Amino acid sequence: MSRPVSLLFGVHAHQPIGNFPEVLADAHMRCYKPFLEVLFRYPEFHFAMHFSGWLLDYLFAHFPQDMAMLTEMVRRGQVELFGAGETEPVLAAIPARDRIGQIETFSTKLTATFGQRPSGAWLTERVWDSTVVPALTACGIRYVIVDDYHFLCTGKITDQLNGFFSTEEDACRLDIFPISEALRYKLPFSPANEAIAHIESLAAEKANDQPVAAIYFDDIEKFGIWPETYQWVYEKGWLEQFVQGVLSSPGIIPQHYRDYHAAGKTKGIVYLPTTSYIEMNEWTLPAESARVYADLVKQSKASGGFERNKAFLRGGIWKNFLTRYPESNWMHKRMLGLSARLAALPQNPHTGEMQQKLYAAQANDAYWHGLFGGLYLPHLRRAIYNHLIDLEAMLDHCAARESRVTQDIDFDGIDETCLQNGNLQIIVRHDPSASIVEFDAYALKHNFGDTLRRHQEDYFDKVQLCGQHPADDDADSHHQENPDNPGNAHNTAETGGGIASAHDRIVSRHRIYAVDLETDDNARTLFIDRINNARIAFHAADANDANDAGGIRFQARHESLLINKHLQLVDNRLQVTYRFSGESKDSFSTEINLAMPSCDGPGGRFIVQGEPVSGFGQPLALADLTEITLDDDTLQGSMLLRASRPVQFSAQPLFTVSQSEQGFEKIMQAVTLLLTWPIETEAVILSLTVHRQSIDERQG
């Protein structure tokens, strides 16, 4: 005689810090609101829910009626709230002191808001690293959930993964629930009756056994935001059918994690490897390694042994994103440096506000890239830098730092020099490029060096390329699909067979050409110098030069020509001076990659002699230029570029090809300026002057 299955059903709701308001409003209308409305009608359907801290604040501020529903569901005992880091950090990627601070901040918020302190915690992206255990237990967390894949990697088999296990780190005990992969792929993509039948099939035959748990915890966005899911889950009634079917089934009891945990016993000790879900482990690999991994998976599937072998066909770990993408590593190490500065600061009235800035800069989304845009989305990186730069300015106000500091910030063996004057900051790499990797304007809280080079991605092999690009074709106005992929059809929802997961779709949102998939050999920095299109190799000049005037100087020799490059900050102006000794008939050029927040949208424009001449998303070429303004509504500021002699000026938008749950898309990362002039004068001075207000505001 079998016992009913305990359905431990949980959902996780999160939006990246810095996401567009229209995206948040859409997520609310297509997912959060209808989900709560359906579940509110069924008080006896017990489930768990986790909202990230900032999203919870946003929903309370903008949609209080829906949050009132959630509050009532918590009050009547229907919802168990799960804790986490306040801003959804990957706990393993931040210092231990910040792990405790993040977890405790969010648990305190839940207690104050709902009167319920969490016993369980959601681990961001299900990233497991045993080093996080002491911080979790120190904050009163008794159990977490990770994928069953984590357990399979230890040699466990699926049939054993129907309860919770225990682990320890530094003598701190934590219990762990394994999320069923089978349920993750069935809910909500399979018909409700099939999902319910699968749960019922898990029932144990022995009445004396602890109740079998069907364990599910996954992104709520799959219930309305992923392609086709709103129609499937709400308009066609999948969620209502599922809830009704569970409640009417004699073989299923919806239960809270906390109740199952309190009444049950651990299934034993387990030590999990550092890992995340199986797709994440593939995404962390560089393109070539990812292709090798994919071939191994394909071979294993062809031989029929993949289910047996998959736990041992492991990819990388989450932190590999920091080695794969130097831009991610740079943000991360800047964050670590500011965290250390804040930790060393004596308590003062602004400590709490600075702590919030740090936590916001630790939000995970902009540090990695997989099926979701992440690092490739400029507005998410901008949000990270916004908080980092603001925090740095506050720290400088509390404990002033030197105007010039040299250190290896990103741990790559190459020093960088920071020059700052309270208004601006540049960080210059001591490599042959002698270029600027970060250019911060404190008043704007913006890093103009926040660009992303074109990386090689393994998913490029799946992109359906277009033919030659007609001159009058709008590359961003076409929707292209791969008709050979069954996941593209509005396939099985109409016939009752379910819908495709975003993992199975191959869709191109923009026209993509072979040239769009070309990759960069070097970072997209500021003031990359060339002679006749060949890059110049600089070396640092004497740091104690009496004429340095608080700047930094580099030298290079090209044949008989000696080139001196001097970078200096003056008030709200960056000035770069090139001095040439010796004769040359060659042409000199410098490349400046600028992160302008409006990207190729209507809010950004080039202005010459007071008149707009082009947007940032269109190519522009001008002869004999000495002055041009880059004005940006999103930034609420502008940059004035001046040259001490006329130069040939060209501008091109820098696009990368990214994948997301919506398909492959082209995203503008920067505007690339190229200034060229003949080497016929002794010195050329270029300057970038940052203004806080827009052109119209200044003229008004």
- Which one is catalytic: 66, 88, 98, 125? 125
CB 429 within 8 A of CB 326: no
Reduced to 3 states (helix: H, G, I; strand: E, B; else coil), residue 626 is strand
Tokens of 508: 């191109």
Cα separation, 228 vs 222, whole angstroms: 10
- Cα separation, 645 vs 623, whole angstroms: 12
Whether omega before 188 lies within 30 degrees of 0, making that bond cis, reads: yes
CB atoms under 10 Å from CB of 209, counted, come to 12
Torsion angle, alpha carbons of 185, 191, 193, 197, to 10: -30
**CA distances, 436 to each of 294, 525, 574 (Å):** 37, 6, 11
From 169, 181, 219, 396, the catalytic residue = 219
Q: What is the separation, in whole angstroms, between the first and last Cα of the chain?
A: 81
Token pair of 327, please?
A: 């831009």
Burial of 523-533, coded b for 16+ CB within 10 Å and e otherwise, reads bbbbbbbbbee
Sign of CA dihedral 49, 54, 56, 62: negative
CA angle (450 as vertex; 448, 455 as ends), nearest 5: 140
| Beta-sheet strands, E only, within 79-212 | 79-81, 120-122, 143-147, 165-169, 172-179
Q: Which residues contact 330 (CB under 8 A, 6 or more apart)?
A: 409, 410, 437, 438
Is there a contact between 242 and 188 (Cβ–Cβ < 8 Å)?
A: yes
Q: Partners of 214 in the beta sheet?
A: 7
Residue entry with tokens 């880059």: 630
For residue 658, give the H/E element and its range.
strand 637-660
Place of tokens 């202005």: 607
Antiparallel, parallel or unpaired: β 79-81 and 47-51: parallel
Under 8 Å between Cβ of 183 and 171 = no
Q: Which amino acid appears at position 289 of this protein?
A: S
Burial class (CB in 10 A: 0-12, 13-18, 19+), 269: exposed
Tell me if residue 219 is catalytic.
yes
Backbone torsions φ then ψ of 619, nearest 5 degrees: -65, 150
Dist CA 244 CA 239 (whole Å):
9
Q: Are 416 and 428 in contact (CB under 8 A)?
A: yes
Residue keyed to tokens 């949208």: 601
Query: Would you please indicate which residues are annotated as catalytic (active-site) residues?
Result: 125, 219
